[in-house]
Amino acid sequence: MSDLDRIVRELVIANRILANEDVVDAYGHVSHRHPDDPGRYLLARSVSPELVERGDIVEFTLDGLPTGEETRALYLERFIHGAIYEARPDVMAVVHAHAEAVLPFTVTKTPLRPVIHSGSFMGAEVPVWDIADQFGDTNLLVANMAQGRDLARGLGGNNVVLMRGHGFAAAARSLIEVVRMSVYTPRNARALLAALALGEVKPLSRGEINARNAGYKPYSPETQRAWEYWARRAGCGDMLG
Ligand code: MN
């Protein structure tokens, strides 16, 4: 199996996992940089993530144009992906989602910080990007490259950026890593929301975050265990290699 076949198959699994784990619903998407051309990426056509199949995966240039003839509808916010790949050569996979638990942290001054061990993947800083800062009154969708590039600037060198009144974008070195980040960021947000209601909160220290991230290996047995668990729960265990 070529790298491209493998990535397409894993991208389908990633879509199903993110839907099953309530990170995405009818909206939201996950992409991977093209394994043979860093100036391209792979992302589904406009379809709900739970329903994505291999034939739905479309190849795009970084500016969001399909590389082949394409008559099907495409995600309006695909520019999020290309703009992040353009700004961050280290990034191989991107998720955009509207997970409910992160939304309060996009519209208040309360920062989203890692407070549980599995939340460490979001990193010490989770910036909030506000589309209105550069673009005024919009429908809040990242609908062109200028808006995508502004979002990528907001992400900077971080792993996750919150989008005011909208959701988040996550960027990582592999699909497993970005899926893991996208599952645990809302979970961490839920724990933090519950903790804030109880009183003072102690976030993970920078040293703890660094210690966890230094030991992280995307294809270790521990990480594969989570991928297999999520895929089977999502009903696509038969697609695992
Ligand atoms: Mn969106």
Query: Does residue 219 have a pLDDT over 90?
Result: no
- Tell me what pLDDT residue 216 has: 76
pTM, rounded to two decimals? 0.97
Sheet containing strand 29-33, edge to edge, reads 57-61, 40-44, 29-33, 93-97, 167-172, 160-163, 128-129
- At 177-200, the pLDDT tens digits run 999 999 999 999 999 999 999 999
Query: Does residue 222 have a pLDDT over 90?
Result: no
Q: What would the DSSP string read from start to end of 63-98?
A: TS-BSS---S---TTTHHHHHHHHH-TT--EEEEE-
Residue with tokens 């961490």: 188
- Tell me what pLDDT residue 22 has: 96
Query: Angle 3-20/221-233 helices, nearest 10 degrees?
Result: 60
Domain positions in the chain: 3-239
Per the prediction, the chain carries an average pLDDT of 96
- Ion ligand 1: residue ranges with CB closer than 5 A: 77
Between the CA of 216 and the centroid of ligand 1 the distance, in Å, is 29
Between the CA of 221 and the centroid of ligand 1 the distance, in Å, is 33
Give me the active site residues, please: 77
> What architecture (CATH level 2) is domain 3-239?
3-Layer(aba) Sandwich (3.40)
Between the CA of 46 and the centroid of ligand 1 the distance, in Å, is 12
- Tell me what pLDDT residue 1 has: 74
- At 54-85, the pLDDT tens digits run 999 999 999 999 999 999 999 999 999 999 99
Query: Does residue 33 have a pLDDT over 90?
Result: yes
Between the CA of 232 and the centroid of ligand 1 the distance, in Å, is 27
Average pLDDT (13-22) is 98
- Tell me what pLDDT residue 120 has: 94
Residues found in the chain: 241
